Amino acid sequence: MATAAPVSVDPRVEADVARGRGRVLVELRIPGGVRPEGELSAERVAAQRQAVASAQDAVLARLRGTDATLVRRFESTPVLALDIGPSGLAQLRAMGDLVARVAADSAVPPAGGSTPRR
């Protein structure tokens, strides 16, 4: 049996989870990779979206029984937004066959530091 690739975990995720919980973006491994939908036929777009959904389903199934909760699924991007604690992070680390990276999900202020006028 082949060894799963290591999962890259953002140090900010480690720090957040050490304090209790953290919001994360989980980047999934899709066999054959993912191409921009504009480069694909309608048939290939549907197949790629199904591959993304299948990978998301597999990750969520393995997270059952942990402290992870789903925040958002993305239809065309191989990413899941989750809220996790220690058991969720431990399980994600063990999913190198499905998970490439776990990054902190943080709000980014608008460029220029100002908000639009109304």
Question: Could you tell me the CATH number of the domain that includes residue 96?
Answer: 3.30.70
Average pLDDT over residues 17-23: 95
Per the structure, how many domains does the chain have?
1
111 lies in some domain: no
Largest CA distance in the chain: 59
Instruction: Tell me if residue 82 falls in helix, strand or coil.
Output: strand
Paired strand residues for 23:
83
Digit-coded pLDDT (tens) for 36-94: 999 999 999 999 999 999 999 999 999 999 999 999 999 999 999 999 999 999 999 99
Taking 70 as the threshold, does the pLDDT of residue 29 lie above it?
yes
90 lies in some domain: yes
98 lies in some domain: yes
26 lies in some domain: yes
102 lies in some domain: yes
85 lies in some domain: yes
Query: According to the model, what pLDDT value does residue 110 have?
Result: 75
Mean pLDDT over the full length of the chain: 92
Q: What's 1's DSSP letter?
A: -
pLDDT band at 111 (very low <50, low <70, confident <90, very high): confident
22 lies in some domain: yes
pLDDT band at 113 (very low <50, low <70, confident <90, very high): low
Instruction: Tell me if residue 42 falls in helix, strand or coil.
Output: helix
Domain that holds residue 83: 8-106
C-alpha 108/C-alpha 111 separation (Å) is 9
36 lies in some domain: yes
Q: What string of DSSP letters covers 43-69?
A: HHHHHHHHHHHHHHHHHHHHHTTSS-E
